[in-house]
Chains A and B, each alone.
Chain A
Amino acid sequence: MNADRSIADRSQPQSWMPILVLSVQEVFEIMLGCRVQPMETPEPRPNGEFTAMVGLAGAICGVLTFSCGGKTAVQIAKCMLGPEIASSEDQVSDALGEICNMIGGNFKNKLAGLDGRCMLSVPTVINGGEYSLRSLADGTPLEVVMQFEGGPIVVCLELHN
């Protein structure tokens, strides 16, 4: 599905939120066979023990992050790989990096008018919640919390204006 949102809409980045949500939902449905739904942002914000990120460079610049708790991360890896092989931390990190990468790719592929003018970095994954991440992106972040099999996942897109 190609969302009818032009890159020219970037002055209204909130208009990209449905595209971001759809991008997450498609990745989870196709690669994990699971439905995820947006939820009211809980207070306090879910603490991410695992954070995967990919950079975007070109016509749009910024960073996409995907974070979740440890149990949720293991469950995601099991859904991707099967229960018998998703056990090591390396595999869990690898799985989350790929999820983040596919969400980023799916998102930019849905933005009309972007054709080939935005590249993704290879993913990076942080394990552990005791850190602060400061992006140099100066736009208003787009953040959505979604429910995945009992645990929240947080997807955030921070863009340069």
Chain B
Amino acid sequence: MSKVRALIVDDSSVMRKIVERSLRQAGIELDKVVEAGNGAEALVALRDNSVDLILCDINMPVMDGLEFVRQVGSVENAKGVPVVMITTEGSESSVVQALSSGARGYIRKPFTPDQVKEHVLPVLEKKP
């Protein structure tokens, strides 16, 4: 697998660092990491950056993760880019809502690097 360009969206800068570290610990080689603090910032970041993978929280101020997932397909750079949610919202209905909004994977916080690997690798391998 070639090196991955990732966008990490979370209102916590600490959590963004932990997600990046977990990707590396999961054996995913990162070419570039772009960070955003909410969905609106992420949409702006995607206009200037091409990425292969998006990891996104749900509960965020300004624009939450579910709204971001619904809008991400409208950004030319982001068409077909898989979005994996990483969130404390772990209920069955939250998972269904995220997947029906367009997310391709779902990781519950707290999470291990193995869980990141389990949920992220399949969506990267399926990427067109």
A interface with B by C-beta (< 8 Å): 26-27, 30-31, 77, 80-81, 85, 90-91, 94-95, 97-98, 101-102, 104-106, 108-109, 114-117, 119-122
Contacts and interface: CB of A to CB of B under 8 A. Distances in A.
Contacts of B60: 122
Main SS at interface, chain A: helix
Contact of A30 (B13, B59, B93, B112): B112
Given A31-B18, A101-B88, A116-B93, 18 more contacts: A30-B112, A81-B14, A81-B17, A91-B13, A91-B14, A94-B15, A97-B12, A98-B12, A98-B14, A105-B89, A105-B90, A115-B92, A116-B97, A119-B89, A120-B88, A120-B89, A121-B59, A122-B59
Contacts of B11: 122
Nearest to A101: B88
B13 to A, nearest CB: 6
21 contacts: A27-B110, A30-B110, A30-B112, A31-B110, A77-B14, A80-B14, A94-B13, A94-B15, A98-B14, A101-B12, A105-B87, A105-B90, A105-B108, A106-B90, A108-B91, A109-B91, A115-B92, A116-B92, A117-B91, A120-B89, A122-B59
Contacts of A119: 59, 89
B61 A122 contact: yes
Contacts of B17: 81, 85
Main SS at interface, chain B: loop
A29 to B, nearest CB: 8
B94 to A, nearest CB: 6
A24 B58 CA distance: 21
Contacts of B70: none
Interface in B16-65: 17-18, 59-61
Given A77-B14, A98-B14, A104-B88, A115 B112 contact: no
B123 to A, nearest CB: 22
Contacts of B94: 116
Contacts of B109: 31, 101-102, 105-106
A26 B110 contact: yes
A158 to B, nearest CB: 19
Contacts of A98: 12, 14-15
B47 to A, nearest CB: 25
Nearest to B13: A94
Interface string B78-103: 00000000011111111001000000
A109 B107 CA distance: 13
B17 to A, nearest CB: 6
